[in-house]
A and B are shown apart, each in its own frame.
Chain A
Amino acid sequence: MANIQDKIAKLFPEATFEEGEFLLINIPDEKLHSLCETLRDDEELSFDYLVTIVGMDWKESLGCVYYLTSTKTNAHISIKVSTTDRENPALTSVADLWKIACILEREVYDFFGIVFVGNPDMRRLFLNIDWKGFPLRKDYDTNPELNPVSIENERQTDDTYVYTRDEKGNLVKNVSKVFEEGDFVVNIGPQHPATHGVLRFRTAVDGETIKKIDVYMGYIHRGVEKLCENLTYPQTLHYMDRLDYFSAHNYHHGLCMCIEKAAGIEVSRRVQVIRVLMDELSRIASHCLFIGTYCMDLGATTMLFYTLRVREQILDIMEKTCGARMTFNYSTIGGVMQDLHPDFVKDVKALLAVIPANIKEYNKVFTGNIIAKNRMEGVGVLSREDAISYGVTGPSGRASGWACDIRKTDPYSIYSELDFEEVTATEGDSMARFKCRLAEIEQSAHIIEQLIDNIPEGEIQAKVPKVLRLPAGHWFQLMEGCRGVFGVYIESDGGTSPYRLKIAPPCLNLAAVVDHITRGDKIADLITIGGSLDYIVPDMDR
């Protein structure tokens, strides 16, 4: 870390550094772009994966924190940039360096009103286009009269904006169109059987061939980040179940780890093991559902029932221990809600016994089918470079040959002691994404096998103060959800609720990449590709 700091200090004398979890570089806005370019392109550093952009309102200034990861060394670094102009805040865009930055900057603009100069598509992302105010600013007026519930149709426009600076350095707003004149635009969604939730693809087609897709999000935006700012830390946990509801355990685990790290709480080994068991069971259930719904999207309805059989068995196990089949709300800060059910070990062993036969059946019914092969092979190819540039993680990223499993790159909890393989493929097509998930079920089962016979005894809840206050500071935690890398950022001012809680979901990136990989394919391929990416809409909308 020190030599990185020296190197950057030499190149950018105006940068200041803060030590912390990761090295934090303070940089003035003018130098941001060249710093990012250096960090990304330098052979030694190669911070080529933009994990997230955290928009921030520090009251006296507005700004962003960029989290970068090197795919070569797995090192992390963060960059902080701010502006004191609250009236017309503007920062330099890095959308030309990382393709995902375009969407992430739109999100920051939506919540903080910070305009990114050079971003090709500076629209709102989640809120509707007539929304007044920027909700995550600390001076946001929450008066409902300002933004009444509309009973009219939402105003729609094809206009998008690009901000540039003229010679004097003033902001210039240029209007451009999302679609070309005369494009045949089909609305796929928000109510559509194959978008897996209320997501809307505005699809410009030429016959059956897709010309461009405008992903329109926000139909299920609930402002989780804003809500969390007014809740105590234990209360914020409940929202994690409602993001990606198939990785509810994983997300809970992630936020708990972040808070525990900040508060310095040690959790017992029993809790660690239980949490990992639950994470991996969730992963199997989630991938089973993926296989079923994906086959259904392709027209093979029967497969759904075969995969739901396994998922149902897992949900029964969950129900016995957690008391719920969805939104489990199981992990707590410092522990878990209840101890394992007496039947847990027996039930899990029964599950492990049926998994191999089921996977064999899935392969027999679907994977080897000639029609399935024709539909999936070579469809929606995502190269490794694009996967990194778009930050497509999880099984989808690994299918493109990018080893991005946080369980391996940044092992958390007890994953470093476990023996499992990171499943990767090189094809990057829909078939590879499908097969990666199928193979991950086997790996998760293998992890569970190692743990199920030696769950240690111990406390299930560490001692946690009744009123939990985190010391002032900021923390960032990454963890592997079922669909990719889930990041959570907490900034605390020493109070009982977070000053800022930012969630970096994997599904936002998955939806952002759809336009890139469907161009020139058929409408039917959009369904194949969207299904194979396996995004969850509440996760991207938050």
Chain B
Amino acid sequence: MKYSLFFVLSCLISITAFGNKGIVRGSVIDEDGLPLMSAIVVVKGTTIGTTTDLDGEFTLSVETGTHNLQITCIGYQPLSIEGVNVTEDEVNVLKDLQLKPMSNELEEAVVKAKAVRTNEGALIAMKRRSSTIMDGISSAQMQLVGDGSAIEASKRVTGVSIEDGKYIYVRGLGDRYTKTTLNGIQIPGLDPDKNSLQMDIFPTNLIDNIIASKNFSADLPADFTGGLVNIETKDFPEKKIFKVSLNTAYNPQMNLNSDYLTYEGGGTDFLGIDDGTRALPDGADAQNIPTPISGASKDQVKSFVSSFNPNLSANRATSPLDYGASLTIGNQLQLKGEKKNKLGYIFSLSYKRDYTFYEDVTYSEYQRYKESTKNELRYATIQKGQQGEDMALVGVLGGLAYKTKKSKIRLNVLRLQSGTSKAGIFDIDNDGQAVGQSGYIAKSHNLEYNERSLTNLLLAGDHSIGDGKWKVDWKLSPTWSSSDDPDIRKTAFTYSNLDTSFVAGAGGNPSRIWRYLDEVNMSGKLDVTRDYKLWDRDAKFKVGASHIYKQRDYEILFFDIQFFGNQSWSNPDPSEVLNPENIYPSTTNNIYYQSGNLLLNPNAYSANVNNTAFYVSNEMSPFPKLKTVLGVRAENNVQRYTGSDQAYASGDTVNGTYLDNEKVLDALDFFPSVNLIYAVTDNQNIRFTYGRTIARPSFKELSFAQIIDPLTNRIFNGSLFKYPGWDGKLTETRINNFDLRWEYFMKRSELISVSAFYKTFDQAIELVRIPTQQTSTEFQARNVGDGKVYGLEFEVRKEMGFVSPFLSKLLVMGNLTLVKSQIQMTDLEFNARKNYEKDGENITNTRDMAGQSPYVINAGISYNDPEIGLNTGVFYNVKGRTLYIVGAGLFPDVYTEPFHSVNFSVNKSFGKDRRTSIDLKVENLLNDRLEKFYQAYKADAQIFDSFNPGMTFSLGVSHTFK
């Protein structure tokens, strides 16, 4: 590391000066959109020339003025680019210059330099010729359209939908079946329990492309089903980047609202880091904490209780506007010397502060009546209130890359740090008549903080060997991430008509939770590609291997307040609960903290995964118009767990379970993939693909952890726990995927396609309400039965020029997916449902699959005029009603209601060279609510949770410095 740094620095110093010349940079691609190496590029009428490197890229230093270039390569038709205007100290970029294979006529192809600039060639060519069904967006496209962040850009990728404003999903399948990679490497996101990486932190000018692969091929990881989204960062920016952006956002409900809720945090909250304000008090994780009954002195108890942050109250304040800023720099330099090696660097620093306030949040639990005549649902708990969130995010991305003609090495660094502070006040109404409920009225103050960080390093090399027919790519990438929830506080007074106090059996005693999660992820990958001729046609043989090691440590610590004797509250205010006069020893209340933590904590675990993969694949054309890619991938995946259940932790070593780095998953799987692409015409394909993929349980799922959400009191149970009808053995879901697709490519990015797909799921994993627990709301991930999914997908991207030339800059895009899914119920579930069957209801042993929406619509219209620097568009996205939690019996199913997301954006750039741009966005134009509902036969749907995100207006300004 130190050595290479020194090397880079010494190279930087020896850079040649350019003088009175300008620079022409470009890239050359073949008919498949792949980089063409060793093509010869010359400036016509001069002796200036060069050859392209392994990325198909070239750089020429040319006298100022207008020049013509010529590109030649053996086996390809020569290409002339006319009217290349070179100005002093400027970089003139000619991207994706496509050479066509040599035909009988030895005619030279000619393009105008101006036309090259709006070319979207590479990605389109790649899409057309790709061995998998893919879609994406390139840097050229993003530049044209003026998208600010990766999330904006990915809206334009067909079949991709965005959730939470930062996660992207493919084809409407949930997180379990989608995967995000960065530079081809799987890295855990800031939310370690999600497969997806949050995308809103990547500035587009550092992204080379975003590609969504919608079906499997052997060189991809096998654990995705809906789609794999890869973000590739730039290594050699074509020209100097030095851009500063500022933005702000206003949501009438959330910003400048004097009802906003917050709580006193620490001095470094604005950096997304807790300064220790929320740290666990010294000694609190000991086996015996000082209590009136632990043998500690009164002073020890008092000082221990006082060492907890006394603030238990959410406070009203006025929320500021959201704001953010980013700085992006990047460039490439040609190093001194004959070989003209290149050095590229990128750096970005971004900062965001978002304020969220939900004026009316509802969480509730409903039950079904036992009587077969009573269809309606009845409530167990309704919790209504308000919740404020303050999120700070700092992102740093840096990259250094070094390239010779035939080799490239790069080092990327990504660091994300975020902190979210939440404060809420809720009214809780629990109905004692509902099953398992005690009945109470309470008002709670909830304070939470979530601190996350992610550090990722990537060291990667691409090498072209020999005659360029061999390619070797390797990647090494460690990631360290953490997600901690220090000092989650819940303080709920229970109200009765005679007094107000803390009632353990009702609203509960005030409690605090600390959660710690640390994860390390080490990935290594090697791919070798050999281009060769088979049956006189191009063929490609690929072989590769990868290893991923992931390790997670998790721990939850819990404390609650106890009263040594009677309670008395003349002023039931959470802000006064921990006043000194209430702390033991005192005349009233006598507060002390009791520990919920066993010495061997059943809510702590350590787990790891070793995943080793090999693959071979061969791409060949048995007939001129038929390309086949056959491959097989082997993955050996072993997951191990260290931790104990509660019985063992509380001392029962006979009947309890303790797993000491024992295997909880161990499988060697082979994942064949078949891709047949029949080119009906030059721009029409029929594709058939088959692939076998897998969905594996997560660390969180395969655990003995019981994770309570103090806000809703909903409890997630690790799947290692056994229940009646559940053996505690959560296993992988194996999936067969069949796709048949017709696609028609028109000019530029236009496309029409129709696909039919069929998938079978062996032992699908779903989140299930635990039927035997009636008092608390508890869930567990289980293998629920075999499932199948079939559907149709329509995709269109069309410029409206065919209607009228006036509309040629209007692009309409959309995709519609219609899906039918079915799960074969287990007997347990079927019987539970039968037991609560209503008159007229006819329960069969199949139902919808959880997480699979019956339809997905993505649609957008954009108007883009690069001449005047204007881009504007409206995008619509909706997923049909989707089963979220599997109920059965007393508990109704929970469904996610469609959220009709309509967003508008306009971007206009100004000034000479359009260096300044302004963008305006309006999100959630329809003002829709985010809701999940309990649903049952002939019953009115009742809220599971409900938020109103409101409409957000945001404004951004950016300037690119010369």
Q: Indicate whether A and B interact.
A: no
A residues in contact (CB < 8 Å) with B: none
B residues in contact (CB < 8 Å) with A: none
